[in-house]
Amino acid sequence: MPPACGAALAAKRLGKDSVAVAFFGEGAANQGTFHESLNLAGLWKLPVIFVCEDNKWAISVDKDHSTAIPCVADRAAAYAMPGIAVARNDALEVFKAAGEAVARARKGGGPTLIEVKTDRYMGHFQGDAEVYRPKGEVDQLRKDDPIPALAGVLRARGLLDDGKDATMHGRVHADVSKAFDFARQSAYPDPREALEHVFA
Amino acid sequence: MTAARKLTMAQAIAEAIGQEMERDSTVFVMGEDIAKYGGIFGATGGLLDRFGPERIMDTPISESAFIGAATGAAAEGMRPIAELMFADFFGVCMDQIYNHLAKNTYMSGGSLKLPVVLMTAIGGGYSDAAQHSQCLYGLFAHVPGLKVVVPSNAYDAKGLMIQAIRDDNPVMFFFHKGIMGLPWMAYYEGSTTEVPQDAYTIPFGQARIVREGSDVTIVSLSQMVQKAVLAAAQLEADGIRAEVIDLRTLVPLDVETVLRSVAKTGRLVIADEDYLNFGLSGEIAASIAEHLDRVALKSPVRRLGVPAVPIPYSRPLEQSVIPQVQDIAGACRSMMGVKLARAA
């Protein structure tokens, strides 16, 4: 979050219309840097958007056991910026809140804190046994997956049909497969490269 | 080049920053009490009036936020200078320094340049106690990705600061409070020097031989250089010719100049104000040990530094843990008659 404040400051000083965006989880919202960054951004009216992805789990500690208030977006009030809490897994609401935040930042209106409620389907790391998680929780959460939900909205509005859906999925699968192939076929780096790029 | 005048080290640093700000509009300064006050130790004196509050920015007491912001601003094309009021305060912002500022160039495969100068005050000797008196430059030199600059006088401070601002990498710039030439704090006169008005640079990684000698090498830096020079004058009266080396930068470190000197004198005293254990003095001693094929020692290496205790508040206690002129002179004298053990 602090480097995002700096990037926003640079945009302001250099007269660019760039907006910096920092993403973090609800667990990180209890770090000192969260509060320092919001204060600095609010004080200096920086064109920066802080996006808190609240999936309720910080590795094994759930939000009820880590955070004094239920809504991280409420903390924005203490730092002179709007705090927007987006309903769980609602992509269109995210789009709307982000658009308003970008417009506000570009107009000199300063920062915005957006809290997006969402879900975590997997463990925090490879090999996480997730013993802390209620059995069957993920199966329940998957029923509200935002991707098919968004597809449903787009179909209802006539913006998506089976053909377009298949094309889009095909393109994404091809891109990912290509990236996997590239990674698997690439040689490992020469050990001497470990010593490069410490300094520019 | 225009005429030189005498400047204090604080004035020389402020002049260097001001000249670079005139030359390059992307240079700006952030820190606590650096604007109206001009920096608690004077490193930004007079700059607010010349450059205004958008380029000379007082910050909240939020070191993580503004040092991290320096990293972000540098990534976007600015050349920030941030002041950490005391090196001792690094504890509240070290993640931004060693995990972000120091590593992002490497972790981006060299695609990110981070031209940040992080300047900070170091050193004791004026009863500011354990949390406001440490040097700690060895700790930052230990971490990869930071250049570490520790000037001993006004001339070097100006040239090294301009070099630091023009460098495309993070540079830590440590100024010792006891050589800044502040009206409210005792300081060593030798640190106030003639300084040319025009801008000039001093390359990193070039130690300076402050005084030549043939009997013993004293390796030092920062305020300790001024003490070493006074010790060398005392030693001369005893017929001992000491060579005083000012390292000027720790990263990069000019090992070659130290080796050449010790090859000549055969004796080495390291005079340091940082903690003795696991630090600069051990690093220099190890460099000698690794080059015993080039250097013939006449006596064991001696290290002077702060023992493993926090810096005490009480003046006599503080003076006793920080190496003084007489400690340096005493160490040199005691080496003269000592012989090395011989291999079987």
pLDDT per residue as tens digits for the range B57-91: 999 999 999 999 999 999 999 999 999 999 999 99
Q: Among partner residues B54, B68, B74, which is closest to A33 by beta-carbon distance? A: B68
CB–CB contact A198 B64 (8 Å): no
Letter string b/e over residues B69-104, b meaning 16 or more CB atoms within 10 A of that residue's CB: bbbbbbbbebbbbbbbbbbbbbeebbbbbbebbbbb
Residues B78, B71: Cα–Cα separation, whole Å: 9
**Residue A81 CA, distance from chain mean position:** 19
What the block records as the tokens of A38 is 């919001």
Which residues of chain A does B53 touch, with a Cβ-Cβ cutoff of 8 Å?
none
Q: Provide the total of helices (H) and of strands (E) in chain B, helices listed first.
A: 12, 14
Domain B208-335 has CATH 3.40.50.920: yes
In total, the C-beta contacts within 8 angstroms joining chain A to chain B are 105
Which conformational region is residue B129 in: left (phi greater than 0), alpha (psi within -120 to 50 degrees), or beta?
Answer: left
pLDDT per residue as tens digits for the range B144-178: 999 999 999 999 999 999 999 999 999 999 999 99
Which conformational region is residue A137 in: left (phi greater than 0), alpha (psi within -120 to 50 degrees), or beta?
Answer: alpha
Residues B197, B145: Cα–Cα separation, whole Å: 32
Closest CA to B136 of B155, B147, B118, B122: B122
What the block records as the tokens of B28 is 């700006």
Q: Does this chain's domain B4-196 share its CATH topology with B208-335? A: yes
Nearest residue in chain A measured CA to CA from B101: A3
Does B59 touch chain A if contact means CB atoms closer than 8 Å? yes
Q: What is the mean pLDDT of residues B95-100?
A: 98
Mean pLDDT for chain B? 97
Residues A19, A11: Cα–Cα separation, whole Å: 7
Which residues of chain A does B35 touch, with a Cβ-Cβ cutoff of 8 Å?
none
- Residue B37, judged by CB atoms within 10 A of its CB (0-12, 13-18, 19+), counts as middle
pLDDT per residue as tens digits for the range B301-336: 999 999 999 999 999 999 999 999 999 999 999 999
- How close A142 comes to chain B (CA, Å)? 34
Chain B (156-175) residues lying within 8 Å, Cβ to Cβ, of chain A = 168-169
CB–CB contact A200 B144 (8 Å): no
State whether residue B50 is helix, strand or coil. helix
Which residues of chain A does B56 touch, with a Cβ-Cβ cutoff of 8 Å?
none
Does B68 touch chain A if contact means CB atoms closer than 8 Å? yes
CB–CB contact B68 A198 (8 Å): no
pLDDT per residue as tens digits for the range B241-279: 999 999 999 999 999 999 999 999 999 999 999 999 999
Q: Where are the domains of chain B?
A: 4-196, 208-335
Q: Which fold has domain B4-196?
A: Rossmann fold (3.40.50)
Which residues of chain A does B71 touch, with a Cβ-Cβ cutoff of 8 Å?
2-3, 6
Answer yes or no: is pLDDT of B1 > 70.
Answer: no
Residues in chain A: 200
Does B230 touch chain A if contact means CB atoms closer than 8 Å? no
What pLDDT shows up at residue B4? 78
Question: Is residue B20 within 8 Å of B27, Cβ to Cβ?
Answer: yes
Evaluate the omega torsion of the peptide bond into residue A146 and state whether it is cis, within 30 degrees of 0. Answer: no
Residues B127, B117: Cα–Cα separation, whole Å: 28
The residues of B annotated with a catalytic role in the active site are: 132
Distance set, CA B336 to CA B122, B218, B245, B256 (Å) = 32, 13, 19, 24
What the block records as the tokens of B183 is 């009206």
What pLDDT shows up at residue B3? 75
State whether residue B172 is helix, strand or coil. strand
What the block records as the tokens of A21 is 């965006």
Which residues of chain A does B96 touch, with a Cβ-Cβ cutoff of 8 Å?
2, 33
Answer yes or no: is pLDDT of A148 > 80.
Answer: yes
pLDDT per residue as tens digits for the range A13-60: 999 999 999 999 999 999 999 999 999 999 999 999 999 999 999 999
Domains in chain A, ordered, with CATH? 1-121 (3.40.50.970), 145-186 (no CATH)
What pLDDT shows up at residue A187? 96
pLDDT per residue as tens digits for the range A81-119: 999 999 999 999 999 999 999 999 999 999 999 999 999
Q: Among partner residues A11, A18, A40, which is closest to B65 by beta-carbon distance? A: A40
Q: Among partner residues B26, B69, B110, which is closest to A5 by beta-carbon distance? A: B69
Regarding beta strands B193-196 and B27-31, do their DSSP bridges make them parallel or antiparallel, or are they unpaired?
Answer: unpaired
pLDDT per residue as tens digits for the range A154-195: 999 999 999 999 999 999 999 999 999 999 999 999 999 999
**H-type helices in chain A, by residue range?**
2-13, 32-44, 91-106, 137-142, 146-156, 162-185
